[in-house]
Amino acid sequence: MNENAVPTEPVGPIKKKSIIEQFTEEIAVRSVLLERTIALHEYLTTQPELVAKLEELGADIYL
């Protein structure tokens, strides 16, 4: 079999995640998204020329 081929059968046992595990992962993902959103907001507030160009291209930016 080609080493780059996608397996058609499960490689190992499939573990069903508990509600707590799912919730914990969801919180982690949302936390990262929030951190990145805050960082982007902080960056854009220091770049008025970039914001103007993005708005010119049709972006809706609320700072």
Q: Which amino acid belongs to residue 2? A: N
Q: What is the pLDDT of residues 9-57, one digit of tens each?
A: 767 777 888 999 999 999 999 999 999 999 999 999 999 999 999 999 9
Please report whether residue 32 resides in a domain.
yes
Beta-carbon contacts of 50 under 8 Å, excluding residues fewer than 6 positions away, are 44
Q: Does the residue 24 lie in any domain?
A: yes
Would residue 42 count as lying in a domain? yes
Q: Distance between CA 59 and CA 52 in Å, rounded?
A: 9
Residue 30's domain spans which residues? 19-56
Query: Is 6 domain-assigned?
Result: no
Q: Can you give the length of the chain in residues?
A: 63
Residue 36 counted as domain residue? yes
Is the overall model pTM greater than 0.75, yes or no?
Answer: no
> Which pLDDT score, from 0 to 100, does residue 41 have?
94
Structure-token match 């020329």, residue found: 49
- The rounded distance, in Å, linking the Cα atoms of 28 and 44 is 24
